[in-house]
């Protein structure tokens, strides 16, 4: 008895899960995304340069134009990783494992930048580089540790599937930190100012500061997607290369090396080993 043909969304979803299909789509997406990101960054930098000083913060308000996008992206990246973790645990989606593994170092970089630029802004504004007792600063530091843990865990096992499951579980457990970061300034006393854009009373920033901030945030988001696509493509190439090396070794000495198809787990792609 033959199984019914998959419906269109299912076949599209399955088709997209094939690394070869992802490589084709990402190759088409990368050039326009890169151009949009570069133009956006150039425009954002110009607007940031031209923005007037804040009446309280003075010139250091210009640090906000990079600090805020980095902080947003550190949380966006983790949220995407949590979705990928669900994709690994619920649907065993092969690209979800790659997305989770490759997003962690990028998210860690944005978190590190958010902490570093926040610290540089804090010195002239608060009079201190760092305050351990501050809930926002501490929860962001926990996020950095979570990223480091996920990077370590996704590289700690020889079996890629075990590594993906372990990293997915840690990612989902650590997701509790995202609402804590968001609401920490409301739940506890904090040096950090409360939300100025996504808040009940509407936006509390003057347009002269808001517009450069939004342009920089959009450009940084595009840059994040460029970095993520590049990292995912590299990981697929790395796995393909490893699979090809195993095939070459097996073809040279079949008796000494396991057959490549048995090295890969069941259900993995024969070409990429995924």
Partner 1 sequence: MTHWQFVILAYAITALVLTGLFARLFIAGRRLRQELRQMEQKRAANRRNHG
> Least distance to partner 1 from the beta carbon of 267, Å?
23
Residue 155 or 238 having the CB closest to partner 1: 238
> Least distance to partner 1 from the beta carbon of 237, Å?
4
> Least distance to partner 1 from the beta carbon of 194, Å?
22
- Token pair, residue 110, equals 């944005």
Residue 101 or 247 having the CB closest to partner 1: 247
Residue 45 or 166 having the CB closest to partner 1: 45
Q: Which residues contact partner 1 by CB under 8 A?
A: 58-60, 62-63, 66-67, 70, 105-106, 109, 112-113, 116-117, 120-121, 123-124, 223, 226-227, 230-231, 233-234, 237-238, 240-241, 244-245, 247-248, 251-252
- H or E stretch covering 121: helix 94-126
Give the CA radius of gyration of the chain: 22
Residue 128 or 234 having the CB closest to partner 1: 234
> Least distance to partner 1 from the beta carbon of 172, Å?
26
Which candidate, 254, 228, 191, places its Cα nearest to that of 80? 228
Which candidate, 141, 126, 135, 134, places its Cα nearest to that of 60? 126
> Least distance to partner 1 from the beta carbon of 238, Å?
6
- H or E stretch covering 240: helix 207-252
Residue 273 neighbours by CB under 8 Å, 6+ apart: 239, 240, 242, 243, 246, 263, 264
CB burial string 158-193: b at 16+ within 10 A, e below: eebbebbbbbbebbeebbebbebbeebbeeeebbbe
- Cα–Cα distance measured from residue 183 to residue 187, given in angstroms and rounded to the nearest whole number: 6
Residue 269 neighbours by CB under 8 Å, 6+ apart: 18, 19, 94
> Least distance to partner 1 from the beta carbon of 241, Å?
5
Residue 6 or 254 having the CB closest to partner 1: 254
Residue 165 or 220 having the CB closest to partner 1: 220
Question: What number of H helices and E strands is found in the chain?
Answer: 9, 0
Residue 62 or 93 having the CB closest to partner 1: 62
> Least distance to partner 1 from the beta carbon of 80, Å?
17
- Cα–Cα distance measured from residue 81 to residue 248, given in angstroms and rounded to the nearest whole number: 34
């Amino acid at each position: 008895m033959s199984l019914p043909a998959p419906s269109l969304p299912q076949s599209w979803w399955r088709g997209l899960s094939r690394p070869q299909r992802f490589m084709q789509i990402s190759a088409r997406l990368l050039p326009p995304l890169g151009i949009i990101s570069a133009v956006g960054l150039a425009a954002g930098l110009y607007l940031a340069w031209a923005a007037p000083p804040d009446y309280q913060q003075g010139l250091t308000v210009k640090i906000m134009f990079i600090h805020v996008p980095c902080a947003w992206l550190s949380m966006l990246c983790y949220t995407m990783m949590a979705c990928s973790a669900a994709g690994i645990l619920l649907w065993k989606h092969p690209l979800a494992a790659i997305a989770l593994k490759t997003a962690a170092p990028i998210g860690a970089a944005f978190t590190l930048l958010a902490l570093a630029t926040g610290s540089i802004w804090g010195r002239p504004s608060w009079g201190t580089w760092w305050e351990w007792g501050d809930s926002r600063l501490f929860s962001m530091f926990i996020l950095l540790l979570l990223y480091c843990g996920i990077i370590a865990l996704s590289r700690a096992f020889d079996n890629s599937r075990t590594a993906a499951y372990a990293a997915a579980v840690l990612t989902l457990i650590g997701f509790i930190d995202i609402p804590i970061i968001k609401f920490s300034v409301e739940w506890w006393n904090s040096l950090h100012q409360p939300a100025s854009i996504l808040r009940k009373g509407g936006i509390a920033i003057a347009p002269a500061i808001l517009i450069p901030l939004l342009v920089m945030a959009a450009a940084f988001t595009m840059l994040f997607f460029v970095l993520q696509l590049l990292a995912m493509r590299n990981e697929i190439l790395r796995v393909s290369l490893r699979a090809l090396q195993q095939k070459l070794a097996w073809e040279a000495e079949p008796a000494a090396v396991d057959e490549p198809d048995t090295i890969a787990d069941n259900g993995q792609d024969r070409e990429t080993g995924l």
